[in-house]
A and B are shown apart, each in its own frame.
Chain A
Amino acid sequence: MLAPSVLTFLAFIIFPIVNTFVAAFSTVDNLGRIESIGSLRNFQTLAADPRLPGIVKQTAIYAGGSVFAEAVLGMVLALILNSDFRGREWAKALILIPWAMPFAVAAMTWRWIFHGQVGALNYVLISLGIIQGPIVWLGDPTLAFTAALFVEIWTSVPFMTITFLAGLQSIPAAIYDAAKIDGAGPFREFLDMTLPQMRTVVMIVTLLSILWAFNAFGIIWVLTRGDPIYRTDLVVTYLYKLAFEQSDFGAGFALAVCIFVVLMIFSLIYVKVLSVEEEQR
């Protein structure tokens, strides 16, 4: 009964992974076909690429920055939503909207909001007197990168929030009663009671969103396409450009292998964290 699913994974995921490795260590033509196996040339080409260090750095900032912002925002929102107030269910549903929207469509709308002349962002900021004239948000490297990071955070905060919320709701109420008797304030209560209970959830969610930063292809491709001058490219978009725009499949395969190895490391930590949690139950 498992065979159909196993075969599907073997054919469409495992085989391409193996294939990627073989191709990375081979010489390939400009359509990605293997010419001869056993070569480090692709990795040498990649290492010599002057653009790569900048793009790796951008990816690290993108992953780190988005995870940090999402975790903080998600936690604060979860704490608020975990308390009782009128309109809570509505707030919860509305907070989820960014996650439900197809990200390609959301990114297109953000592109319109960031429009350099008549965009809604320019309008709002000018009306509030924060900026004097319209800003071409996606034309400036730093602003465009910040915009992309913002959209990434925007799409991922909902997941963080409801996961943290689920975590908060699984904390037994009894431990808070003890804290109340001790007269602990809300911040002490959070640091001493809530956070230790949430440790595993926080770790899992953080790891997951690092992995998701490697799924950011669609957001970047739609919003900036890596422009201006590769300053909003991430390794995942650059990999695509190497192969399909610069016809350098060899370097593309080599980069794919590097990304795969990084992903595997994070995945193994993730599995480790999960199995530790399992044992504690």
Chain B
Amino acid sequence: MRTSWLKYLGIIVVLLPMVVMSLFPLIVMISTSLKSPAEVYQWPPVFIPREPTLQNYSDIWTVANLAAYFRNSLFVALGATALVMLLAVPAGYALARFRFRGRGFYMLFLLVMQMFPGIVIILALYRVVAAFQMTDNLVTLIILNAAFGLSFAVWLLTGYFSSVPAEVEEAAMVDGNSRLGAMLRMTVPLSAPGLVAVGIFSFIGAWNEFLFALTFIRSQDKLVLTVGLWKYIARFQVEWNYLEASSFLVTVVVVVLFMLVQKNLTRGLIAGAER
């Protein structure tokens, strides 16, 4: 083939280095997490530890407050996911099934909201949260994460619900179901893969969130993983072996979830979608 030399040049010069680069932090993470404290600061460092140990993975539960961080992150991420689904399913359904004034505008609003950075309104939120005395409360994180994950979720769900033909529902209604019954018995189960994808995206979003957790949580025992680990490195002498072991555990959770849903990723952002 004419272009094959170019292709192989590309694979060797660009693709291979990029794959290595993508994996590099993960490799360093795993490598460091298997080292003894003495070996971490050794020069020259080695990528494959001379005496690999799993000690760090058992120590982190007592050295840092990791169990609490995990519990809090899980609570926030699951809470936000549940709240997003509760709010987004009816909205996505309405946008998929009904034509009404302002629908196009709302779809555009959702699209723009998807990349709205929380930092722009963080000061106003700070005041609101303080006024309601909700500072240092994990529920605050659930609500804010849900509010910020909502637009992407509604957008995706609208697409999924639209792909279930309305005739399926009408048939169910002829069989004596109410509209709600038809929606819950037919459309929602038929969109199950979409619902799962949206749920996982919401979970990942809340699990990875940093800014709100940094701003609104004060007490040690209420910290979530991202900020908890960050506070740990802000200390004087960092035990990187512990930090990287914890980081690896945090990462594994999302990488696995992410790989399950990555095919849906471009859908919300790029597709001008069924309007």
| Interface of A toward B, CB cutoff 8 Å | 1-2, 4-6, 8-9, 11-13, 15-17, 19-20, 23, 31-33, 73, 76-77, 79-81, 83, 85, 91, 93-106, 108-113, 117-118, 120, 123, 126-127, 154, 157-159, 162-163, 166-167, 185-186, 201, 204-205, 208, 211-212, 214-215, 217-218, 221-222, 236, 239-240, 243-244, 249, 252-253, 256, 259-260, 263, 267, 270-271, 274-275, 277-278, 281
Contacts and interface: CB of A to CB of B under 8 A. Distances in A.
B191 interface: no
Nearest to A92: B262
Contacts of B226: 102, 104-105, 218
A240 B95 contact: no
B123 A253 contact: yes
A13 B116 contact: yes
Interface of B: 2-3, 6-7, 10-11, 14-15, 18-19, 21-26, 28-29, 32, 40-45, 47, 86-88, 90-91, 93-95, 106, 108-109, 111-113, 115-117, 119-128, 130, 143-144, 146-148, 150-151, 154, 207-208, 210-211, 214-215, 225-227, 229-230, 233, 238, 240, 243-244, 247, 250-251, 254-255, 258-259, 262, 265-266, 269-270, 272, 275
A52 to B, nearest CB: 16
A252 B123 contact: yes
B230 to A, nearest CB: 6
Enumerate the 3 nearest inter-chain pairs by beta-carbon distance, A residue then B residue, closest first: A100-B258, A16-B124, A12-B147
A95 to B, nearest CB: 6
B interface SS class:
helix
B127 A32 contact: yes
Given A2-B106, A12-B144, A102 B254 contact: yes
